[in-house]
Structures are given as structure tokens and as C-alpha cells.
């Protein structure tokens, strides 16, 4: 729709201006730092940062209802820069000029209601929000669109050039970073560090295909992260891990989209998501907080962060009920089918602690909860979801298992409606499904495949069939008719098919 056709009362707000005053704020010492530099930790105390808008209060000049109208109408714009996460420009990156925004089709992922069978099994009304339907097939694209749009704005202003973007990854960060960086060729090159044999072949193929330098490092993600941190401290590189606060801003769009898709009614809503490095749960909390502060939503939804018992440092921290006695201890991870969340020392832990306090205080009760699930539960729920029309990844299975666990522990009310995050596409993690179906998961996972859930291809090759098609030698005539008839009879008999009445 053309700008002149929007209602007059909101027309001036439909295309956002460049505004706001963003700063990095340290969660350790509270110091604020200039946004014009690429900073990952506080130069004064080395703690993690979050980006705040010191002119955020200007957004309160409009009512929540006016904002709802603006954001809803904005959907009708055809400007590419505003078709992705930057529909929420004022909340995500108000200082970024529209011509610096990189849009590769990220965001606005579908919210799919579970069928009756699955809802009954789970015992809660729920939807999957499929973040696997992003360009590189995971939610990481939301954060990369933000980080790379910001870097692009620096390049365009001549403040930065010849950038080497680096990240450590459990697979999806590198796929996304390499994709978005490749869009900015020749200004940016990317290098990714992966734990050797701890990412799936699909995830490995992604940065290779995007032309990144790919380094495989012995150890697990936490080891790669330390190497990347050392590189970013000593050398001139752009760090694209979620330690980079720009990633968090972009990932807040997940919350904004949920609010918009439920017509801003967050009463009785529960958001369930897996926790790895804890960037995503940071962003999801921050997103809802911003919409709440501007009156766009009137209720803060419940949030449930889920961890596998094989990588559960956040769950362990919160399992101490007395806040004063809580003490964060990194854990040594064990193999997890939710491999993208297999992290023992989450970088965003201080952000989680800070925002969870703020969230619960504002809500007036405990609305952020943490649950733990087993490897068996993760994969069983993933497989069951996918047998009911979803395309959930193993981390999506972890989310669903977490919803079940939360319900068991009494966190879910009868009238609650859950939005469950499938953080990536099922295909990226299909290797775990293969291992389950062929009972080849190593004993460390602690998973016993349920024969009823296994599925295998059946090779159809009737014994007394003399001629079969071979490469470059198709069957003809009577041989071909015999082949088609025999094979179809075999399939019909295996499927117990009844003959159709043909007149
Ligand atoms: C990165 C990732 C996670 C973990 O998200 P964090 O922000 O690190 O907590 C979960 N699932 C998938 C598919 C991921 O790629
Ligand atoms: Zn500091």
C-alpha cells in the first residue's frame, strides 16, 4: 500500500525516522558506552552489555493502542527494509537508517496450532512458532539481520571497512553469520569456529556454502567461545556471537511478532523456549518488557526456559529457591540431541539474572520459570510433534518437553495457551532422528528408542521378478508391465489394501 493511502492519524509514523539515542550499558558496573564502537564487553569491568535507548520514553508519547495501529498498518508497506524484523524499527534499532537494513526474508515465522491429538497428549492448548522457517533455518537470522544491518550502517558511513566477522557456534550461529556476511561481500569476510564433530553435517555445509572460512576445533562449544573471545580481544574483528548486544536487539522481534499475532492480548500466554548460551531468552524477555513499558501489551506473558539435564547450568542456578543463596556454576556438558543448546557456561547468564528479576518484579509474581527435561523426553516429543504436522528440530522437542514438565510442576494454569519455540528446522537435526530410528545413538545420550516411534524405508524388490530397471536401461513392453504390477501388488499386500470396485 502507498503511504498516501494510510489513515491520516498514523500516516506520519508509518515509515519510521532515524531516532533514539542508543548506548551500551554494562550490567556489571552500570557504565554507559558510545554505540559508535563495536563493543562486546565493558572496557571498565569486562562484564556483558545490553543496548538501551536513552530516549526510549519518547515512545510513550503515543498510546499503546496507537502503536498497535501503526504496527498493524505497517504490515501493508511494500518497502523491503520494513518487511522483516524492522517492522519494529523503533524497538530494535531506531538509529539504523532504512537504506542500511539487510533483509533476507527473516522474521514473521508462522504460528501453527497443534492438532487436537497432540494438544490432548500435552494437556495444554499450544502453538508452535516455527523459527526454522527463517532464511538459514534458525532463529539466529533475527539477530544477524540486526548485527549486520548495524555493521552495514558503519560501512556506509565510512566508519568501518574490510571487516572480518567471527563467531563460535553450535552450528546455527555460524550458518546465519556466514549467510548475512556473504550478502555484504566484498566489505565483509567471515570466519566461524565450530566444535569438531559437534555440529550436524547440514549445519557444517551452510557456512561452507556461504564461502566462510570454517575452523573445526577440538572440544565443545564453550572451548570455541573462549578462543573467539581471545581473538576478539586481541585482534580487529567483529564478534557475531550473542555476546554482541546487537544480536539481542534483533532477536527481540520474536516477542513482538507473538504479541502482534495474538492481537496484543498476552493474558494467559506462555512462551516456551530452549536455553543454550541464553541470548534468546534474554531477547524474548527484553522484547516483552519493552512492549509492556509502552503499553502495547497489558500483561507480561509467562516465560519458561528449558534445559536438558545434560546441559543445565541455568536450571541449576534457579533450582535454589532462595535468591540470596543462588550461585552460578558452569557445568561440563554431556552429549545432547538438543546439540545447538549444549552449552555449560552461557555468556548471557548475567543478562538472564538481571532481566528475570526485572520481569518478575514488574509482573508482581514469578512469571519466568526454568525447567529441566531428559534427553529421552526431548527426542520423543520432537518425533511425536513431527508425526503430527510439525517440522520441529530437537531443540523444538526440548521446548515441547519443557511445556509438559512445566505443566507437571504446576506452573501452567488450565486456561493457559502456550507458544512453543521450534528454534530451527527439523532437517538440520535429522541425523538424530536417523540414529533413533536405527537405534544407533551412543549410550551417553541415555535414550531408549520406542519401537512404535521408529520408521524405516522398505526396499520393495519381489524375489521372483526377473527384470528390474537399471541405470540407463529402462524397462520396456511386457517386462515393464510385469514390473509395475508385481511392485504394486507387493505394496498393496504390505499395506493390506482392499481392491477398489471397478465396474
Ligand atoms: C542457538 C540455538 C539455541 C540456543 O539459543 P541461545 O540463544 O544460545 O540460548 C537453541 N536452538 C537452536 C536451534 C539454536 O540454534
Ligand atoms: Zn562495566
Size of the chain, expressed as the number of residues it contains: 503
pTM assigned to the model:
0.96
- Provide φ and ψ at 15, rounded to 5°: -100, 115
Higher pLDDT, 461 or 249: 249
Q: Stretch 65-72: mean pLDDT, rounded?
A: 98
pLDDT on residue 76: 97
* Residue 424 in contact with ligand 1 by CB distance below 6 A: yes
- Say how far apart CA 350 and CA 346 lie, in whole Å: 9
Q: Is the pLDDT of residue 502 over 80?
A: no
Which ligand is the nearest neighbour of the Cα of 27?
2
| Domain positions in the chain | 111-135+252-445, 139-247, 460-497
Which ligand is the nearest neighbour of the Cα of 130?
1
* Residue 132 in contact with ligand 1 by CB distance below 6 A: no
Q: Stretch 243-256: mean pLDDT, rounded?
A: 98
Long-range contacts for 151-158 (Cβ within 8 Å, ≥24 apart)? 151/38, 151/184, 151/188, 151/238, 152/100, 152/101, 152/102, 152/184, 152/187, 153/95, 153/96, 153/97, 153/100, 154/36, 154/38, 155/184, 155/187, 155/188, 156/97, 156/99, 156/100
Nearest residue by C-alpha to atom 2 in ligand 1: 340
Identify the CATH assignment for 139-247 out of 3.20.20.240, 3.90.650.10, 3.40.50.1100, 3.40.50.720.
3.40.50.1100
Q: Stretch 242-250: mean pLDDT, rounded?
A: 97
Which ligand is the nearest neighbour of the Cα of 48?
2
Whether cis (ω within 30° of 0) applies to the bond prior to 186 is: yes
How far from 208 is each of 177, 203, 240, 319, 363, CA to CA, in Å? 12, 9, 17, 40, 45
Quickly state the pLDDT bin for 162 (edges 50, 70, 90): confident
- Say how far apart CA 328 and CA 207 lie, in whole Å: 33
pLDDT on residue 308: 98
For every residue of 438-474, DSSP letters joined together read: TT---GGG-----GGG---------TT-----BTTB-
Q: Stretch 146-152: mean pLDDT, rounded?
A: 97
Percent of the chain with pLDDT over 90: 95
Q: Is the pLDDT of residue 179 over 80?
A: yes
Average predicted confidence (pLDDT) for the chain: 96
* Residue 338 in contact with ligand 1 by CB distance below 6 A: no
Is residue 421 a contact partner of residue 390, using CB atoms and an 8 Å limit?
A: no
Taking only the tens place, the pLDDT of each residue in 440-483 is 999 999 999 999 999 999 999 888 888 999 889 999 999 999 99
Q: Stretch 355-363: mean pLDDT, rounded?
A: 98
* Residue 189 in contact with ligand 1 by CB distance below 6 A: no
Sign of CA dihedral 207, 211, 216, 221: negative
Q: Stretch 113-133: mean pLDDT, rounded?
A: 98
Question: How close is the Cα of 50 to the center of ligand 2, in Å?
Answer: 11
pLDDT on residue 462: 82
Question: How close is the Cα of 498 to the center of ligand 1, in Å?
Answer: 48
What cell does 484 get?
509395475
| Nearest residue to 17 via CA among 86, 66, 104, 76 | 86
pLDDT on residue 134: 98
* Residue 342 in contact with ligand 1 by CB distance below 6 A: no
Q: In terms of CATH architecture, what is 111-135+252-445?
A: 3-Layer(aba) Sandwich (3.40)
Domains 111-135+252-445 and 139-247 in one fold: yes
* Residue 274 in contact with ligand 1 by CB distance below 6 A: yes
Sheet holding 32-34, edge to edge: 32-34, 22-26, 49-53
Which ligand is the nearest neighbour of the Cα of 41?
2
Nearest residue by C-alpha to atom 14 in ligand 1: 340
Q: Is the pLDDT of residue 101 over 70?
A: yes
Q: Is the pLDDT of residue 240 over 90?
A: yes
Question: How close is the Cα of 76 to the center of ligand 1, in Å?
Answer: 31
Q: Which of 395, 398, 431 to mutate to test the pocket of ligand 1 (most atoms within 8 A of CB)?
A: 395
Is residue 48 a contact partner of residue 9, using CB atoms and an 8 Å limit?
A: no
Q: Is the pLDDT of residue 503 over 70?
A: no
- Report the nearest atom of ligand 1 relative to the CA of 393: 13
* Residue 279 in contact with ligand 1 by CB distance below 6 A: yes
* Residue 59 in contact with ligand 1 by CB distance below 6 A: no
Amino acid at each position: 500500500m502507498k503511504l498516501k493511502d494510510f489513515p491520516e492519524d498514523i500516516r506520519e509514523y508509518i515509515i519510521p525516522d532515524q531516532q533514539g539515542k542508543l548506548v551500551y550499558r554494562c550490567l556489571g558496573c552500570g557504565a554507559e558506552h558510545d554505540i559508535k564502537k563495536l563493543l562486546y564487553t565493558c572496557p571498565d569491568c569486562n562484564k556483558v552489555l545490553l543496548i538501551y535507548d536513552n530516549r526510549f520514553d519518547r515512545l510513550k508519547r503515543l498510546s499503546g493502542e496507537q502503536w498497535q495501529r501503526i504496527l498493524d498498518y505497517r504490515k501493508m508497506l511494500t518497502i523491503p527494509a520494513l518487511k522483516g524484523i524492522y517492522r519494529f524499527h523503533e524497538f530494535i534499532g531506531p538509529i539504523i537508517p532504512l537504506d542500511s537494513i539487510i533483509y533476507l526474508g527473516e522474521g514473521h515465522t508462522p504460528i501453527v496450532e497443534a492438532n487436537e491429538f497432540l494438544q490432548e497428549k500435552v494437556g495444554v492448548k499450544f502453538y508452535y512458532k516455527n523459527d526454522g522457517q527463517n532464511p538459514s533455518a534458525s532463529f539466529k537470522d533475527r539477530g544477524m539481520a540486526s548485527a549486520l544491518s548495524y555493521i552495514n550502517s558503519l560501512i556506509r558511513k565510512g566508519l568501518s571497512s574490510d571487516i572480518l566477522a567471527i563467531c563460535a557456534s553450535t552450528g546455527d550461529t555460524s550458518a546465519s553469520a556466514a549467510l548475512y556476511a556473504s550478502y555484504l561481500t566484498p566489505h565483509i569476510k567471515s570466519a566461524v569456529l565450530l566444535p569438531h564433530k559437534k555440529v550436524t553435517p547440514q549445519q557444517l555445509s551452510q557456512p561452507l556454502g556461504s564461502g566462510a572460512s570454517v575452523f573445526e576445533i577440538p572440544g565443545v562449544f564453550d572451548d570455541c567461545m573462549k578462543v573467539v573471545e581471545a581473538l576478539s580481544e586481541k585482534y580487529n574483528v567483529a564478534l557475531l556471537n550473542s555476546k554482541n548486544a546487537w544480536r539481542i536487539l534483533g532477536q527481540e522481534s520474536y516477542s513482538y511478532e507473538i504479541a502482534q499475532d495474538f492481537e496484543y492480548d498476552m493474558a494467559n500466554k506462555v512462551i516456551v523456549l530452549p536455553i543454550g548460551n541464553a541470548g534468546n531468552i534474554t531477547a524474548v524477555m527484553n522484547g516483552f518488557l519493552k512492549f509492556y513499558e509502552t503499553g502495547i501489551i497489558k500483561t507480561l506473558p509467562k516465560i519458561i526456559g528449558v534445559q536438558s539435564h545434560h546441559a543445565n547450568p541455568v536450571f541449576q542456578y534457579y533450582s535454589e529457591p532462595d535468591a540470596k543463596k543462588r550461585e552460578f556454576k558452569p557445568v561440563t556438558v554431556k552429549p545432547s540431541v538438543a546439540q545447538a543448546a549444549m552449552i555449560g557456561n552461557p555468556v548471557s547468564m548475567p543478562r538472564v539474572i538481571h532481566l528475570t528479576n526485572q520481569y518478575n518484579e514488574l509482573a508482581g509474581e514469578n512469571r519466568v520459570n526454568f525447567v529441566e527435561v531428559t534427553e529421552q523426553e526431548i527426542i520423543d516429543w520432537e518425533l511425536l510433534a513431527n508425526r503430527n504436522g510439525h517440522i520441529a528440530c530437537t531443540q523444538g522437542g526440548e521446548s515441547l518437553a519443557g511445556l509438559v514438565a512445566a505443566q507437571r510442576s504446576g506452573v501452567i494454569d488450565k486456561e493457559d495457551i502456550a507458544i512453543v519455540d521450534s528454534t530451527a528446522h527439523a532437517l538440520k537435526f535429522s541425523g538424530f532422528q536417523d540414529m533413533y530410528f536405527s537405534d544407533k545413538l551412543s549410550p551417553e545420550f541415555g535414550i531408549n528408542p520406542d519401537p512404535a516411534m521408529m520408521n524405516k524405508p522398505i526396499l520393495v524388490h519381489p524375489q521372483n521378478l526377473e527384470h528390474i530397471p537399471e541405470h540407463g536401461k529402462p524397462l520396456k513392453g511386457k517386462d515393464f508391465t510385469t514390473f509395475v504390477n508385481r511392485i504394486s501388488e507387493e505394496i498393496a499386500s504390505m499395506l493390506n489394501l482392499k481392491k477398489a470396485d471397478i465396474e
